[in-house]
Amino acid sequence: MRKCSFCGRSEKEVNLLISGITGCICDDCATQAGEIVKENLKSKKDDFHLDVLPKPKEIKEYLDQYVIGQDEAKKSLAVAVYNHYKRLQHLGADEEVELEKSNIIMVGSTGTGKTLLARTIAKMLVVPFTIVDATVLTEAGYVGEDVESILSRLLQETDYDPVKAEKGIVFIDEIDKIARKSDNPSITRDVSGEGVQQALLKLLEGSVINVPPYGGRKHPEQKFIQVNTKNILFICGGAFDGIERRIAQRLNTHVVGYSAVENTARVDKNNLMQYIAPMDLKSYGLIPEIVGRLPVLTHLDPLGKDALRRILTEPKNSIIKQYVRLFELDGVKLTFNDDALDYVVDIAVQYRLGARGLRSIVEAIMMDPMFEIPSKKTKKFEVTLDYTKEQISKANLNVLKEKTE
């Protein structure tokens, strides 16, 4: 009778016995062996190679491969990450000057690449990195997630190792959604606005936080893990819809006197976001304490026609390259005419869809080919301007237009 070569149990005593050339292994031993291999490989993974610091230019060059334009935001992000690496490298050093972290906030309209920048830099980093959404956060005791859940996500990335988590980077998306809803904070309790901002203060500045590793409300019996946020870099991003009006008002208040006409001509009205200042964030609804704990303020430029055209084809994971690869898997060579691509960009600009809208438009164009070609023996398919116009006319893009107006 066959027996497991590891535990010695017979074929009747196990659920499954796998035969090899010179022996057998049961399902229990195979499962246990898999766990041992997994833990062993995990221990051999590269940890924090802080002795090999990527320079700011190297970080920006990596971002350039995936994100088009936004040079100012890339520089600020690269410098912040590089300085964070240096701080981690010199932790515990006896120096007269204590290096403090510089949290960063990125402001830009929707579809300009804030989240994409964060996700792209996550591919490059060797420190724990997580992206959280600020829209689900509420004050403690109310329906929603506590602020401490931000650190719970970071702990999950490090297998609940607080030492590793304390060297990580957190990207808080949609930070503008927790802006104060009223100019007078005493009128009503703002549980998802100012209340969350107050709770974020201790995280951003740096303090020891008791973090429930599995979420505090569903597992009240669990033990807390203490995490010191002093060495965690926080990067915040938000669209801040309508902040351009506040910037314009501030610029107009300064454009008075003898040189009013000259100063007005210098202001680029098509890109007011480049003139953003901390006082604009305060007037939008962020409390002064939060603004003070996000000292590095950078902006993302709105995407013009040229940038959208480059986004279609240039990045490593561009939309067109993704569709070309999809057709390659079916043995079909897909090509796009330049006129067709220009027309796609024109539609995106006309309907003010931004970079995210490019995917929707191309999807509408390619829906019929993706449905029909896998069943045919076609080896080549070319997307022309006439075909693009025909497919666009079939698509109900007027709905998108109404939503953006």
Q: Where are the domains of the chain?
A: 11-44, 56-299, 305-404
- Can you give the pLDDT at residue 116? 86
Measured CA to CA, the distance from residue 334 to residue 379 in angstroms comes to: 9
The dihedral over CA atoms of 190, 196, 197, 202, expressed in degrees to the nearest 10, equals: 140
Give me the amino acid identity at 212: P
Best CA proximity match to 225, nearest among 134, 164, 135, 137:
164
pLDDT at 356 over 50: yes
What is the CATH T-level fold of the domain 305-404, as seen in this structure?
A: Helicase, Ruva Protein; domain 3 (1.10.8)
Helices of type H across 8-148 = 27-44, 56-64, 71-89, 114-124
Q: Where are the beta strands (DSSP E) in 152-196?
A: 169-173
Task: Grade residue 183 by pLDDT with cuts at 50, 70 and 90.
Answer: low
Q: Give the model confidence (pLDDT) of 280-306 as tens digits.
A: 999 898 999 999 999 999 999 888 889
Measured CA to CA, the distance from residue 17 to residue 325 in angstroms comes to: 41
Best CA proximity match to 400, nearest among 369, 363, 345, 360:
360
Q: Which two tokens stand for residue 62?
A: 């990596």
Query: Locate tokens 């079909």: which residue?
Result: 332
Handedness of CA 205, 206, 210, 212 (dihedral sign): positive
Measured CA to CA, the distance from residue 358 to residue 351 in angstroms comes to: 11
Residue 155 parent element (H or E): helix 149-157
More confident residue, 216 or 367: 367
Handedness of CA 312, 315, 320, 322 (dihedral sign): negative
Q: Which two tokens stand for residue 184?
A: 């007078």
Superfamily of segment(s) 56-299: P-loop containing nucleotide triphosphate hydrolases (3.40.50.300)
Cβ atoms within 10 A of the Cβ of 169, count?
22
Q: Give the model confidence (pLDDT) of 37-93 as tens digits.
A: 877 665 444 444 556 778 899 999 999 998 888 999 999 999 988 888 888 777 766
**Cβ-count burial 340-354 (b if 16+ within 10 Å, e if not):** bbebbbebbbebebb
- Can you give the pLDDT at residue 294? 92
pLDDT at 25 over 50: yes
- Can you give the pLDDT at residue 171? 92
The dihedral over CA atoms of 182, 187, 190, 194, expressed in degrees to the nearest 10, equals: 60
Rg (CA), the chain: 27
- Can you give the pLDDT at residue 79? 92
Best CA proximity match to 112, nearest among 275, 274, 301, 352:
301
Task: Grade residue 265 by pLDDT with cuts at 50, 70 and 90.
Answer: low
Q: Which two tokens stand for residue 234?
A: 């926080």
Q: Give the model confidence (pLDDT) of 82-128 as tens digits.
A: 888 888 777 766 667 777 888 999 998 877 888 888 888 878 877 78
pLDDT at 141 over 70: no
Q: Average per-residue pLDDT in the chain?
A: 82
pLDDT winner (highest mean) among 88-92, 109-113, 199-203, 362-366: 362-366
Query: Locate tokens 């666009």: which residue?
Result: 392
Best CA proximity match to 47, nearest among 163, 206, 153:
163
Task: Grade residue 259 by pLDDT with cuts at 50, 70 and 90.
Answer: low
Q: Are 326 and 370 in contact (CB under 8 A)?
A: yes
